[in-house]
Amino acid sequence: METFKKLRQYYWPYKQYFFISMFFLLFVTAITVVYPIILQVTIDEVVLKGQYGWIPILTFGFIAIMVVKGIATFVQQYVGELFGIKSVYSMRNALYEKLQFLPFRYYDNAKTGDLMSRLTADVESFRFFLSFGFSELFRFILMLGVSFSVMFYYSVPLTFATMISLPFLFIAVFRFDKAVHPAFRGVRKSFGKLNTNVQENLSGINTVKSLSREDFQTGKFNDSNADYKDNMISTSNIWAKYFPLMEFLGNVCVVALLSFGGYLVINKSLSPGELVAFYSLVGYILWPIMSLGFTINMFSQSKASGERLLEILEANEEIYDQENAYAPSRLKGDVEFKDVTLRYAGDDHAALTNISFKAEPGKIIGLVGATGSGKTSITQLITRFYEPESGEVLIDGRNVNEYSLKALRGNIGFVLQESFLFSSTIKANIAYGNPDAKMEQIIDAAKRADAHEFIMELPEGYDTILGERGLGLSGGQKQRISIARSICLDPSILILDDATSAVDMETEFKIQGALRNVMKGRTTFIIAHRISSLKHADEILVLEDGKIVERGKHEQLIHNGGLYERVYKIQFQDQQAILQGQRG
């Protein structure tokens, strides 16, 4: 029960529903045991003794009991459902909130499909046990307790004979539990992988089709599906072996008890009605024991699901606000790196090594280098997406660790290389980082990003609802809306991570012109592969293998004989060749 103890905070606040459900369950169980008593009276008093005056009393009594039991069963099941539903409502909110605050380091290894599986299938499995599993366990305990009490009243020897045969059933049940839990753990993992496969395929369907890899993706899905199928078959095999065994043991127990019970009837130690009632009570005991396998099945599934949920809930957040964190409304934008080294989890090679530089407020810093040289890593340290292994990252003279995350990131506009838009209106996407922005601010941001014109050409203008991930817009249009979103935030620090890579050269020229006005008064970091985007930077840092190998202005670096000059000449020659081709 360790898993349930750890998750107690999510279901225990709703314990009143649980206890109400258990009260009515006790009531239903007590009424159920009355049936054999009525049967015993009917046989012994009505059939054998001919006291037919009992018939109307027993009939109306039985109908009344049925009505009361039906009402009590409804209340018990409804309140039990409320217990499960309200509990997982809190749990699902906690899981989603936890995912919002887990660091980037966690998502480096996490699979989207698997996380979705945990928030849907695993949460639902846990809810099902809260709603039904707990009540079934208590029903089992209550039924055994109440039934044995009545059985002792009828016949002590026959009751002890029943108790001697039960351990064999319990052994089979617990061996079943030991085998089925690892099996269900495997089922949950394989389902998460299957979900991940589907999610990745649907997200990358354009790539799949453009490269004619449909057969490969189908084969990959078939492998995941086959793994899930094999795990399900393995689990079904366990069920198929243990349930016939438990049924056989139960039937042997019944036959033995009927034989012994018949002997007691012949010797006048037990009446026929008492034997029939006793036999019914044995059924009330054997069926819960055999169905205990089903309950254990639910328990094993919910335990496996709970373990997967705890992996999220207990994950180390790593990056969090310190006590009394500094939360300024606006930053000046003074950024300084002091001998900073960064190493990603599971990577022996440092992403950044001994990085030191200073960006004064309002300055433009260009970052250039090959893929994997450490450009993006620098910007991710500014926003505290990752923590450095050593050294300090300072903003306005304070270590970034001292700032409130909300205040820090609320002052940083981040335009990623791959723009992401939500399935909402264009207006809501632009104002996402500044939900209080007025329409005038949204339109102004769109104009500065050279997006206003094409937005107004859309059917609903700024109220146009975008498809998933901005479906329906070109790459350049999505990028300009993403830029407008950062402008609308009115940040002190602006980070452009290859922000114009998805637009043509003419559109890039327009955006660069607009961005020059936006950059005024803001500390700006520009990651770019095109040298043309960095010409106006106050300082350019050239990175290679996580180290700064050159620094200076554009005019200095193109005559420095280093990496920057080589890249510049290659791009300049390519540009000249394109122009000559156009003239030809």
Are 233 and 211 part of one and the same domain?
A: yes
Q: Are residues 307 and 337 in the same domain?
A: no
Termini Cα distance of the chain: 78
* 61 burial level (CB within 10 Å; 0-12, 13-18, 19+): middle
Instruction: Tell me, yes or no, whether 456 and 562 share the same domain.
Output: no
Residue 566 sits in the same domain as residue 429: no
Q: Is residue 454 part of a domain?
A: yes
Point out which residues pair with 358 in neighbouring strands. Answer: 336
Secondary structure element (H or E) that encloses residue 451, with its range: none
Domain span at residue 159 reads 2-313
How many beta carbons lie within 10 A of that of residue 222, not counting itself?
A: 12
Whether 510 is covered by a domain: the verdict is: no
Low-confidence ranges of the chain (pLDDT < 70): 177, 181, 199-200, 202-213, 250, 290, 293-294, 467-472, 499-511, 513-514, 517, 573-584
Give the integer Cα–Cα distance in Å for 554 and 539: 8
Q: Return contacts of 70-75, CB within 8 angstroms, 24+ apart.
A: 72/24, 72/27, 72/28, 72/31, 73/24, 73/28, 75/20, 75/24
Please tell me the predicted confidence (pLDDT) of residue 577: 47
Residue 102 three-state SS: coil
Do 139 and 43 reside in the same domain of the chain?
A: yes
Q: In this structure, is residue 325 part of a structural domain?
A: no
Residues 260 and 223 in one domain: yes
- Decide if 513 is inside a domain: no
Pair 359, 254 in one domain:
no
Same domain for 79 and 147, yes or no, is yes
> How many whole angstroms separate alpha carbon 287 and alpha carbon 300?
20
Kind of pairing, strands 539-544 and 352-359?
A: unpaired
Tell whether 257 and 392 lie within a shared domain: no
Dist CA 548 CA 181 (whole Å): 53
Tokens of 329: 């409304």
CATH number of the domain that residue 231 is part of: 1.20.1560.10
CA 493 → CA 186, 221, 335, 479, distances in Å?
A: 47, 44, 9, 19
- Cβ proximity of 542 and 564 under 8 Å: yes
pLDDT per residue over 340-398, tens digit each? 999 887 777 889 999 999 999 989 999 998 888 888 899 989 989 888 999 999 999 99
Same-domain pairing of 338 and 306: no
Confirm whether 110 is domain-assigned. Answer: yes
Residues 6 or more apart in contact with residue 23 via CB below 8 angstroms: none
Q: What CATH number corresponds to the domain at position 462?
A: 3.40.50.300
Domain membership flag for residue 545: yes
Number of domains in the chain: 3
| The three-state (H, E, C) secondary structure of 206-232, written as one string | HHHHHCCCHHHHHHHHHHHHHHHHHHH
User: Is residue 511 situated within a structural domain?
Assistant: no
Tokens read off for 468? 């998933």
Q: For residue 424, what pLDDT is reported?
A: 83
Give the H/E segment covering residue 410: none
Of 245, 279, 313, which residue is a domain's last? 313
Within this chain, do residues 130 and 243 fall inside the same structural domain, yes or no? yes
Q: Are 177 and 232 in a shared domain?
A: yes
* Residues in Cβ contact with 476 at an 8 Å cutoff, skipping those fewer than 6 apart: 502, 503, 504, 507
Task: Return the pLDDT at 579.
Answer: 44
514 found inside a domain: no
Give me the sheet containing 523-527, strands edge to edge. 412-415, 493-497, 523-527, 364-369, 539-544, 547-552
